[in-house]
Structure 1
Amino acid sequence: MIASLPMYDRPETAVANDALWQGIRDALGTGPERLTRDGDLWDHWLSPDLLLSQTCGYPYRARLHGRVTLVGSPVLDLPGCPPGFYYSVFVARADDPRTDPQEFATARLAYNDALSQSGWAAPQNWAAARGFAFTNPIHTGAHRTSALTVAEGGADIAAIDVLSWHLMQTHDPFTAGLRVLARTDPKPALPYITALGRDADTMRAAVAHAIHALPSDTRATLGLKGVTYITATDYLALPNPAPPPLPAPPN
């Protein structure tokens, strides 16, 4: 069986994620001894051996719905945000005089992945609701790389998953050179999934038990308060923006 918690796993959170997994495993009475941290995420998510993983809302609605079982959504420690929801923050360099994301419409937008809800869909949907689009995207491969690219001057703005941003502020000194301009509207958080045919209620109960059994400092490290259930309909209702343009072929 496969278990992975890849979305907020970094060296500083690895021990806490391991503790969370051990609590889930103990509650289930089964599962691999260790989290899988290598290999392709799509291979994990689509494997019939998947016991538990976490994906992003955009991959879920674009490719995974109907091919996996939705377990639940994390309740993050985000004051003022509905349980089971999250948002992105727009970050720019602290010395950039622009104050409104709309001023960056033609500037370089660093994004982690074309199927990222927080890094690509959320900012483009936020822009569309205000009558514009971000037209100069730069692919980076990871939220942390997007933020670092902005800090180093290789891009001008990025939309970062708020929990990823909080983790960067805690562990990455380069964030001192960035500031938050605005935040996107709250949307369903990154869902936990399991393979088709597995019991979502049992899995969700195990995740809830494990989260609440964690020491308070471990929960704080992960930014977790609990788990809830957001329906597939709510995830599927979000619009899919146009994909970023393909890179120009080399001369």
Structure 2
Amino acid sequence: MSECVVSLPMYDWPELQTYNNKFFKVLSQSFSHQGYKAPNALDRTRDRMDVWLDKNLLLSQTCGLPFKTLLKNKVSLVGTPAYGLNCGAGSYYSVIIVHQDSQLKKLEDLKNKTFAYNEKGSQSGYAALLYTLSVIKDAPQFFTSSFQSGSHRQSIQAVAEGKADFAAIDALSWELALRHEPTAQKLRIIAVSEPTPTLPFITALRSPRELDKLHMAVVDAMVALDEETREALLFIGFAPMQVSDYQVIEDRLYAIQETYGLDY
């Protein structure tokens, strides 16, 4: 029998790995109480998509955009973390950031400027940005200069270093950057996107009964976490979201595809 797989790739910054390891240790105990045997360690080596599509996936976290595109009907939703973001439980948003010394003050000022994005498969760093900019008349002709940075943290660094004029950063990554990334102090927020459900916890395709057990395992693990770890990871709860709650991401994807002529 193949060993189950667990990963927490979305916010596994070097400064957070100790805390994610602590969360994994508590998760493993909760999984055991529900009849599941967790692996010995988090998977930090394999490609994220390979892990997400692994038939032995016990738990991972993905982005809402691939959840509604590449992973649609191929994984099951366990639930959605609620973070301390002054947003609805289980929701988040993106902040659009510029250099603090720039003259850019509003969305319209971003016309013909260069933006950095973590990757085109990102809801918060790419799709949410294009959707937010689409309110500007003739948006496609103004927002053609961009490049892929590789991560939210690298997008922050790119704007701070003047390599990009602006970027969209998910609110949790922004909070982590304010804590751990010195270049974030050189930046400021000029706009925020409309909220969407935050990054879901997923597992391989499973029955409703199994999903209930895994959901409870995560809830129990979050409750059992020490306060320092919970605060470091910004956990405030675990929302019982439904797949239908993520339809807004797919709807907005269709809207930006139509506006910008994109193909996902």
Contact kept in structure 1, 2:117 and 2:152, CA below 8 Å = yes
Specify the SS of the correspondent of 1:193: strand
Contact kept in structure 1, 2:114 and 2:164, CA below 8 Å = yes
Residue 67 of structure 2 corresponds to 60
Residue 21 of structure 1 corresponds to 24
Structure 2: give runs of 5+ residues left out of the alignment. Answer: none
Query: 1:201 aligned to 208, 212, 224, which one?
Result: 212
Residue 154 of structure 1 corresponds to 163
Taking every aligned residue pair, what percent have the same amino acid on both sides? 38
TM-score, with length taken from structure 2: 0.89
Residue 167 of structure 1 corresponds to 176
User: For residues 216-245 of structure 1, what are the alpha-carbon distances to aligned partners after superposition, in whole Å with 9 as ceiling and x for unaligned?
Assistant: 111110011111122212213322133898
Partners of 1:72 and 1:118 in 2: how far apart?
19
User: 1:92 offset after TM fit, Å?
Assistant: 0.5
Contact kept in structure 2, 1:110 and 1:157, CA below 8 Å = yes
Matching residue's letter, 1:214 = L
Query: 2:42 aligned to 35, 40, 59, which one?
Result: 35
Change (3 A) 1:201 1:130: farther
Stretch of structure 1 that moved more, 59-68 or 195-204: 195-204
Partners of 1:130 and 1:184 in 2: how far apart?
14
TM-score, with length taken from structure 1: 0.93
Partners of 1:234 and 1:115 in 2: how far apart?
19
Partners of 1:135 and 1:56 in 2: how far apart?
24
Q: Give the number of the structure whose residues are more often helix, by fraction.
A: 2
Change (3 A) 1:150 1:142: same
Partners of 2:47 and 2:55 in 1: how far apart?
15
Specify the SS of the correspondent of 1:47: coil
Matching residue's letter, 1:150 = V
User: For residues 145-174 of structure 1, what are the alpha-carbon distances to aligned partners after superposition, in whole Å with 9 as ceiling and x for unaligned?
Assistant: 111011111100000011111111111111
User: 1:11 offset after TM fit, Å?
Assistant: 1.2
User: 1:130 offset after TM fit, Å?
Assistant: 4.3
User: 1:19 offset after TM fit, Å?
Assistant: 1.1
Residue 177 of structure 1 corresponds to 186
Structure 1: give runs of 5+ residues left out of the alignment. Answer: 247-251
Q: Counterparts of 1:1-251 in structure 2 under 5 Å?
A: 1-29=4-32, 30-79=37-86, 81-131=87-137, 132-133=139-140, 134-197=143-206, 199-238=210-249, 239-240=252-253, 241-242=256-257
User: 1:135 offset after TM fit, Å?
Assistant: 2.6
CA RMSD of aligned residues (A): 1.6
Partners of 2:261 and 2:222 in 1: how far apart?
37
Contact kept in structure 1, 2:80 and 2:239, CA below 8 Å = yes
Partners of 2:187 and 2:79 in 1: how far apart?
33
Matching residue's letter, 1:63 = L
Give the number of equivalent residue pairs: 245
Specify the SS of the correspondent of 2:173: helix
Partners of 2:111 and 2:69 in 1: how far apart?
25
Residue 249 of structure 1 corresponds to none
Stretch of structure 1 that moved more, 190-199 or 2-11: 190-199
Contact kept in structure 2, 1:212 and 1:225, CA below 8 Å = no
User: 1:202 offset after TM fit, Å?
Assistant: 1.0
Partners of 1:129 and 1:21 in 2: how far apart?
41
